[in-house]
Amino acid sequence: MPGHRVTLGVDRPMRLDSGAELGPFDVAYQTYGALNADRSNAVLICHALTGDHYVLDQHPVTGKPGWWEMLVGPGKPVDTDRYFVICSNVIGGCMGSTGPKETDPATGKPYGLGFPVITIGDMVRAQKLLVEHLGIDQLFCVIGGSMGGMQVLQWAVAYPESVFAAVPIATAARHSAQNIAFHEVGRQAIMADPDWAGGNYLLEGTRPHRGLAVARMAAHITYLSEPALHRKFGRNLQNRQTVTYGFDADFQVESYLRHQGITFVERFDANSYLYITRAMDYFDLAADYGGGTLSNAFRKDGKGTPVRFCLASFSSDWLFPTSESRAIVHALNAVAANVSFVEIRTDKGHDSFLLDEPEFHQVIRGFLDGCAEHRGLTRPSRP
C-alpha cells in the first residue's frame, strides 16, 4: 500500500478519553509536497467517517482516484507546490492505522470489540503525536469536512497554539440527535447481521457484509439531497420498461444504493464503522471544553482563540445544516475571533465538499492565500 506508517505511543501509551490506554499503536499517513526550512507550511487534512489518507493517490482497494483531488494538488486551492500536505488514517480506522481489525499485541488476535472506544479527541491526540513526530510545532492549516471538520474544531480548541488557520467544512460542534439516530440505524444493521458474530467475525471467518451494506445505504441517503437524488434518478426504472411487481431493484435509485452498499463492504471494516460512528456521536465541544457554552471552548486564559477560521456550509446539506456552522460562527464572534463564513448554494447535499463546487474552491483558495500572506509563506513560482 502506498504511504507511510509510524508506530507511536511506544515509550508511553496514549491515554484515551474513556480512561483506557492505547499503545504502541500505528498511524498510516500520506504526505504530498515538501516541508519548508522553517517547517511553517504544513497542512493537515482530516478525513471523514469512511475516508482515509489517500487524498491524491489511486485507492489501493477500489482503484478510484484520490478523494480530494478537486481541492488538493499542484496549483489547486490546497496547493501542494506551496504546502506540505499531511493526511493520516484515523485511529479506529481500517486503512492501516490501529483499529479493531488489527491484531491486539496482548492477545495475538484481532481487537474486535476489545478495541477501546475512541473519540474525536483521541483521533486528534494521535494526529498531534504524528505531527510532533514529523518535527512540526505549528500547522499552517487544519482542514476537513464532516467528521474531518469535527477534528479541525477539536484541533483548534485542544491545541490552539499549534494551529495557525482552521477550515471546518460542513460540520458541527456537536453531533445532533438526528445524526446520532442515523448512526444507530447503521450500527443496528451491522449488529443484526448474524455474520457479525458478536464482533468476532474475523476469528469466525465470516463478514457482516449485508449489515454493513445496509448501514452504508442508509447513510448514503443522508449525504445527498432530495433534489440531487431526483435530478439523478427521478423515478427511472433500472434496465426495464415496467415495474416487476416484486422486490427486485426496479428503480435506478435502488440499484444505485445497492451498488453503494456492495462496493463499500469491500473496503471498509464493520467494527471500524461502529467505532468511528460512536466517536462522532460523542463529539460535543461545548460540553467537553466550554462547560456547556460553546464560546467558552474558544477562550483560553480570558482571551479569544488566536486561530483564524474559515467555515463553509452547503445550502442543501441537511445532515450538517448551515445552522450548525452558524452556531460555531456565533460562538467565535463572542470571543471576537478572526472568522470567515460562507454558505455555498448548491443542491448536492452534504457530499458537496467532495464535489466540483467552484465557488467553494475559490473561497478556500482565497482564505488560504490570505493566511499564507500573514504567515509569511512565499508563493510558488510557476513556469
Please state, in angstroms and as integers, the Cα–Cα distance from residue 341 to each residue in 167, 170, 333, following that order. 10, 11, 11
Amino acid at 370: G
Residues 6+ apart with CB under 8 A from 28: 1, 3, 4, 5, 53, 88, 89, 95, 96, 97
Min dist CB 187 to another protein, Å, is: 35
Which of these segments, 4-12, 41-49, 132-140, 356-364, binds another protein (CB under 8 A)? 356-364
Total residues binding another protein (CB under 8 A): 29
Residues 311-340 that bind another protein (CB under 8 A): 326, 329-331, 333-336, 338-340
The grid coordinates of residue 318 equal 441537511
DSSP, residue by residue, 307-318: -EEEEEEETT-S
Active site residue 317: yes
Question: What is the CA angle 174-177-178, rounded to 5?
Answer: 115
Min dist CB 340 to another protein, Å, is: 5
Does 343 bind another protein (CB under 8 A)? Our answer is yes
Q: What are phi and psi of 191, to 5 degrees?
A: -70, -20
Active site residue 40: no
Q: Which of 183, 308, 348, 350 binds another protein (CB under 8 A)?
A: 308
Out of 47, 175, 209, 350, the active site residue is 350
Does 380 bind another protein (CB under 8 A)? Our answer is no
Min dist CB 331 to another protein, Å, is: 8
Q: Which of 59, 254, 366, 375 binds another protein (CB under 8 A)?
A: 366
CA-based end-to-end distance of the chain: 33
Out of 40, 88, 146, 316, the active site residue is 146
The grid coordinates of residue 104 equal 491486539
Rounded Cα distance between 148 and 132, Å, is: 20
Residues 199-228 that bind another protein (CB under 8 A): none
Q: Are 81 and 179 in contact (CB under 8 A)?
A: no
Which of these segments, 34-42, 173-181, 220-228, 358-366, binds another protein (CB under 8 A)? 358-366
Q: Which of 267, 286, 370, 375 binds another protein (CB under 8 A)?
A: 370
Rounded Cα distance between 229 and 257, Å, is: 11
Q: Are 341 and 312 in contact (CB under 8 A)?
A: yes
Active site residue 225: no
- How many C-beta neighbours within 10 Å does residue 288 have? 20
Question: What is the CA angle 132-138-140, rounded to 5?
Answer: 125
Rounded Cα distance between 94 and 102, Å, is: 8
Does 253 bind another protein (CB under 8 A)? Our answer is no
Q: Tell me whether residue 185 or residue 336 sits nearer to another protein (CB atom).
A: 336
Q: Are 127 and 158 in contact (CB under 8 A)?
A: no
Min dist CB 370 to another protein, Å, is: 2
Rounded Cα distance between 40 and 63, Å, is: 33
- Binding mask of the shown chain, residues 167 to 196, with x at each position contacting another protein by CB under 8 A: ------------------------------
Does 379 bind another protein (CB under 8 A)? Our answer is no
Does 257 bind another protein (CB under 8 A)? Our answer is no
Q: Tell me whether residue 136 or residue 372 sits nearer to another protein (CB atom).
A: 372
Min dist CB 299 to another protein, Å, is: 10
Q: Enumerate the active-site residues.
A: 146, 317, 350
For another protein, the binding residues (CB under 8 A) are 295, 308, 310, 326, 329-331, 333-336, 338-345, 359, 362-363, 365-367, 369-371, 373
